Structure 1
Amino acid sequence: MTEGLLISAPRSGSGKTVLTLGLMRAFARRGLRVAGAKNGPDYIDPAFHAAATGRVSLNLDTWAMGPGLIGGLASLATTDCDLLICEGSMGLFDGVAAPPRASGSSADLAATLGLPVLLVLDVSGQSQTAAAIAKGCDTLDPGVRIGGVILNRVAGDRHRRLAADAIEAIGLKVVGALPRSTTLVLPERHLGLVQAEETVGLDAMLDAIADFVAMHVDLDAVQALARPLAHATPGSDASALPPPAQRIAVARDAAFSFLYPHILQGWRAAGAEFLFFSPLADEPPPADADLCWLPGGYPELHAGRLAAAGTFRDGLRRFADKKPIHGECGGYMVLGETLIDADGVTHRMAGLLGASSSFAKRKMHLGYRDVTLEADCSLGVKSARLRGHEFHYATGFDGAIPDLPFAMAADAQGNPPAPSGTRRGLVTGSFFHVVAMRT
C-alpha cells in the first residue's frame, strides 16, 4: 500500500514549495515512484510537481470535494506509486468556516487521508520560540499528527541547535535544517509562480533544489514518517464532473493552461476525447468537436496576439453558431468584447459575450464559490450546483447590452448569492473555475 505525508507550515511563505519539489526530485532520483498532490485550488504548483516526479499531480480539496471523491482521487494519484507527497496550502489550519473536516484546510486533508504532517518552520528571527509554534500545531487538532519538523532559513549551527533542541524537547523530531539561500528561488508573477512550462532551465533547477534538500535533510527519516493512506480505495469514483460532450476542443497554450488534471482525467475515464488547439498559434477550434472549452490562464499577457489571431476568432464565432462554447476566467475574458491590459491598451476579443475585462486597475478576487446554474448549459442542467473558486485580478464590466447571467454564486463567508458570468445563445462564461459537482 502506498504511503504518504503532507508538507505544511504555520503560514504561507515558509518554504513549502521548494522543500516539496526538492523531496520529490530527490526521492525520484533514488528510484522511488513518487506521486504529488496539492491541497486546495491551485493550478501552478501541481505542474511543478509533475516536472519533479514525471507524474500528473492532482488537487485534493475538502471544501469542494466530498470524502468519497477525495478517496477516489487519492487512489488514482497513487496507482503504481511508492510515496505520495502532498503539498499543503497557506498555513496548516487555514480554511473557511465549514462543518468538521470540510474547511479546505491542509489539516482537514491530512486528517481525512491519515497523512502525517511534515511541518516546515521558518525560524528566521527566532530560535527556541519555534518550539512553541510547533507544539501549537501538534496539539490544536487531535486528528492531525505532526510527524516531523524541518527548519528553514537557519542562520548557522548555533541557531539550528537552539531551535532543534527546543523542538525535540517537546517530543517532536527535527529531520532537517535548511540554511538561508537566495539562489534557489522560483520566479513569480501576480497569480503565484511563473508556470512550470515557462520556467527556463526548470529541470536543472529541480536537480539543484534536490541537491540542496538532500544535503540538509535526512531523507531516510522523512521517508520513515510516511504512513498508508486512509480512504484511498482502488476503484473508488474519481469523477468530479461529467464530461460536457464526447469530443471536446480544448484551448491549450501559454494563454490557456489552467484546467485541473482531475477534471481532464475524469472526462477521459468517462470516454470523452480531447482535441487540443492553440489560439496563440491562430488555430480555430476543430470543426468536428462537439464543444469548445477555453480554460483560464494568462490571456492578459498575450492580448495583442489574441486580438490579431483572426483565424482563431473567426473559427470561434463559426463554432458558436451551432455548438456550445464555455470559457473559464481567462477564457471568459477572451469570449467578451474587449480586454484592457495592465498598460491601459484596449484589445478586441471574440465578442461572443457582452462583458469586457480590465487589468488597468488591478483588484484581487479570491475565494471559494458555491454556484447554481441559471440555465441548462455545458456544465449541467438548470439549478445544478457546482463548487470551485475565483482567483483573478481583472475587473469585469457589462457592455451596452448585458447578457443573461450564467449562474448565481455564493461565497464561503455566507454572503448572499450574486450573479456570476454571462450567457448568450450557446456561449457561456464566468470567472468561476469548477472543481467538482456538488453532491
Structure 2
Amino acid sequence: MKARGLMVAAPRSGGGKTTVTLGLLAALRRRGVAVRAAKSGPDYIDPAFHAAATGREGRNLDSWAMPPALLDRMLAEAAGEASLLLVEGAMGLFDGIGGAPGRSGAPADLAGRWGLPVLLVLDVSGQSGSAAAVLRGFASHDAAVRVAGAVLNRVGSDRHRRLVEEAITPLGIPVLGALPRDAVPVLPERHLGLVQAEEHPALEAALAALAEMAERYIDVNAVLALGAPLPVGAPARQVPLAPPGQRIALARDAAFSFLYPHVLAGWRAAGAEILPFSPLADEAPSADCDACWLPGGYPELHAGRLAAAARFLGGLRTFATRRPVHGECGGHMVLGQGIVDAEGARHAMAGLLTHASSFARRRLHLGYRRATLLADGPLGAAGTVLRGHEFHYATAEPGADEPLAAVMDGEGRDLPPMGGRRGWVSGSFFHVIARETP
C-alpha cells in the first residue's frame, strides 16, 4: 500500500489543530479509510488520542531529537499499512529552536523534508480580511513548505465566513472548511494538556461527535485529495534507545503512562520482553525481570494511593537491591522521598533516591534537553548522548545523590546537572526521545 501524507498545522498553539485532526481521523476511519496519525514534536498525550481515533498506534516525529536516519525510519513505520498518514503539528507551523537547518523541531521541518502538503487551521475570531494576510504570510514564508488548504476555526456567522473567504480567494488557496465557534466539542484539560485518552470519561462519544463535526463543516473528500505520496524507502535499522534489559518490568496505568510509543516499539524490535504492572493496583515489578522502568505520568494526582501501595513500594525496593530501576519524570518523583501535592500534603514514596517533589510551589519546566550520561546505567554507557524533553510543574527539593547527566538545553546552553543515581537506581525529569548520532 502506497501511503500518502498530509500535515495539519496552525499559526500558533490553541488554534484548533487537535480538534480538526481528531475530527478528520475519526471521520476517515468511519469511512473505511486506512488512516494513521503522527505528532510533530515531543507531545506524548496527543498520540494516544490519535490511536483511539484511528485504531492504530500513534507516533512522534521530532526533527530536533531524532537523527535524520531515525526520523525517516519513524516515518516508514508510521505510514505502514496506511493509505493516509495525517501528521499533526505542534505549536505554530514554523515554531522551533535555533540550530541546524531542518533540525529545529518545527513542524515545517517535516513538511519540507517529506513534501507534506499543509492544511492550515486559522483561528479567525476577531478578524476577517486580516486572516488572508496571515495565510499569505504562512504560504510564502518558506518555499519548501506548501500550504495547500485552509480550515477556518471559530467562525462567528455566515457573514463572517463570507468576508474571510472573499479575502482569501485571490490567494488561490482553497478554504476546505469552517467551524462555527459554538460547534466544536471540547476535550477536558489539566495542567500538562488534555486529560489522557485512557482517562477520558466518554472518549468514544467524543470522537463520534468530532467525526460528525468534520463531516458537517469540512470537505473531507477534498482534504483526503490533498495528500501527497510519501517518500518511504527502505529505512536504516535504528533503535531510538537500547532496551535497559531483556525482560523489562514496565509500570503502566493512569499514573504512569508517558512512555513514547516509538521507544517501546524499539525495545520490542531489539528483542526485549515487556511485562507491564500497575502500581495503582498495588502490583510489584516481576522478580524475574532484569530491569524496571517507571515512566512519566501523573503520580501527583494519585499520590495518596501510591503512598498506601505497600506491595508495590516494598517490591520496588526489593527489586532495586539487585537490578536496575529507572524513573522518568513522574517515575523519578516516585523514586524519591515524597511528593507534596497541590494542597501541601506530603506523601511518602519509595525513598530509593534522596530528592523530593512538590506541587505546592508549581513552576513550569519546559524544553528540549541534550543529556550526556555521567555513569553506566539503564539509559546507556557513560558518555552516551541522549536527546529528549522536559515538561513538568514540579519543584524539586534537592537530594544527595550523584547526578545522572550533564545537560544542555536545545540551543546548547549549559544547565545544571540533572537527575540522580544511587546504587542500582536512577531517575530524572528528562524524557528520552532518542540517542544522538552524527
TM-score by length of 1: 0.98
For residues 18-75 of structure 1, the C-alpha deviation after alignment (integer angstroms, 9 at most, x for no partner) is 1000000101111111101000001110000000000001000000012211111111
Partner of 1:264: 264
For residues 172-220 of structure 1, the C-alpha deviation after alignment (integer angstroms, 9 at most, x for no partner) is 1111111112660000000000000110111011011110111111111
Partner of 2:420: 422
Please say if residues 76 and 238 of structure 1, whose CA atoms lie closer than 8 Å, have aligned partners that are also in contact.
no
1:84 equivalenced with 2:80 (yes/no): no
Partner of 2:72: 71
1:354 equivalenced with 2:333 (yes/no): no
Paired residue secondary structure (1:11):
coil
CA distance in 2, matches of 1:190, 1:264: 25
Paired residue secondary structure (2:321):
helix
Partner of 2:389: 389
Partner of 1:287: 287
CA distance in 2, matches of 1:56, 1:408: 33
1:219 equivalenced with 2:217 (yes/no): no
State the one-letter code of the partner of 1:403.
Answer: D
Partner of 1:105: 106
Paired residue secondary structure (1:390):
strand
Partner of 1:46: 47
Partner of 1:250: 250
- Cα drift, residue 237 of structure 1: 2.6
Partner of 2:308: 308
CA distance in 2, matches of 1:50, 1:234: 25
Please say if residues 115 and 226 of structure 1, whose CA atoms lie closer than 8 Å, have aligned partners that are also in contact.
yes
| Superposed counterparts of 1:79-158, under 5 Å | 79-158=80-159
Paired residue secondary structure (2:414):
coil
After superposition, the CA RMSD in angstroms is 1.0
Please say if residues 99 and 411 of structure 2, whose CA atoms lie closer than 8 Å, have aligned partners that are also in contact.
no
Partner of 2:240: 240
Please say if residues 405 and 422 of structure 1, whose CA atoms lie closer than 8 Å, have aligned partners that are also in contact.
yes
- Cα drift, residue 415 of structure 1: 2.1
State the one-letter code of the partner of 1:361.
Answer: R
Partner of 1:407: 405
CA distance in 1, matches of 2:294, 2:9: 33
Change (3 A) 1:183 1:128: closer
Paired residue secondary structure (1:35):
strand
CA distance in 2, matches of 1:407, 1:315: 27
Paired residue secondary structure (2:315):
helix
Gapped regions of structure 2 (runs ≥ 5)? none
CA distance in 2, matches of 1:255, 1:234: 37
Please say if residues 118 and 148 of structure 2, whose CA atoms lie closer than 8 Å, have aligned partners that are also in contact.
yes
Partner of 1:321: 321
Partner of 1:433: 431
CA distance in 2, matches of 1:333, 1:168: 53
TM-score by length of 2: 0.98
Paired residue secondary structure (2:313):
helix
CA distance in 1, matches of 2:102, 2:362: 34
Please say if residues 184 and 213 of structure 2, whose CA atoms lie closer than 8 Å, have aligned partners that are also in contact.
no
CA distance in 1, matches of 2:172, 2:68: 31
CA distance in 2, matches of 1:146, 1:104: 19
Gapped regions of structure 1 (runs ≥ 5)? none
- Cα drift, residue 162 of structure 1: 1.1
Partner of 2:167: 166
CA distance in 2, matches of 1:68, 1:358: 39
Please say if residues 8 and 16 of structure 1, whose CA atoms lie closer than 8 Å, have aligned partners that are also in contact.
yes
CA distance in 1, matches of 2:308, 2:415: 37
State the one-letter code of the partner of 1:271.
Answer: G
Please say if residues 184 and 210 of structure 2, whose CA atoms lie closer than 8 Å, have aligned partners that are also in contact.
no
Partner of 2:205: 204
Partner of 2:62: 61
CA distance in 2, matches of 1:306, 1:183: 37
Q: Mean alpha-carbon deviation: is it higher for 377-386 or for 415-424? A: 415-424
Paired residue secondary structure (1:149):
strand
1:380 equivalenced with 2:370 (yes/no): no
CA distance in 2, matches of 1:64, 1:330: 21
State the one-letter code of the partner of 2:344.
Answer: G
1:11 equivalenced with 2:12 (yes/no): yes
Please say if residues 71 and 113 of structure 1, whose CA atoms lie closer than 8 Å, have aligned partners that are also in contact.
no
Please say if residues 7 and 86 of structure 1, whose CA atoms lie closer than 8 Å, have aligned partners that are also in contact.
yes
- Runs of 4 or more, structure 1, over 3 Å off, are none
Change (3 A) 1:3 1:242: same
State the one-letter code of the partner of 2:30.
Answer: R
**How many correspondences in the alignment?**
436
State the one-letter code of the partner of 1:406.
Answer: L
CA distance in 2, matches of 1:252, 1:182: 35
Please say if residues 76 and 234 of structure 1, whose CA atoms lie closer than 8 Å, have aligned partners that are also in contact.
no
Please say if residues 324 and 378 of structure 1, whose CA atoms lie closer than 8 Å, have aligned partners that are also in contact.
yes
Please say if residues 247 and 289 of structure 1, whose CA atoms lie closer than 8 Å, have aligned partners that are also in contact.
yes
Q: Mean alpha-carbon deviation: is it higher for 91-100 or for 180-189? A: 180-189
Q: Percent identity?
A: 60
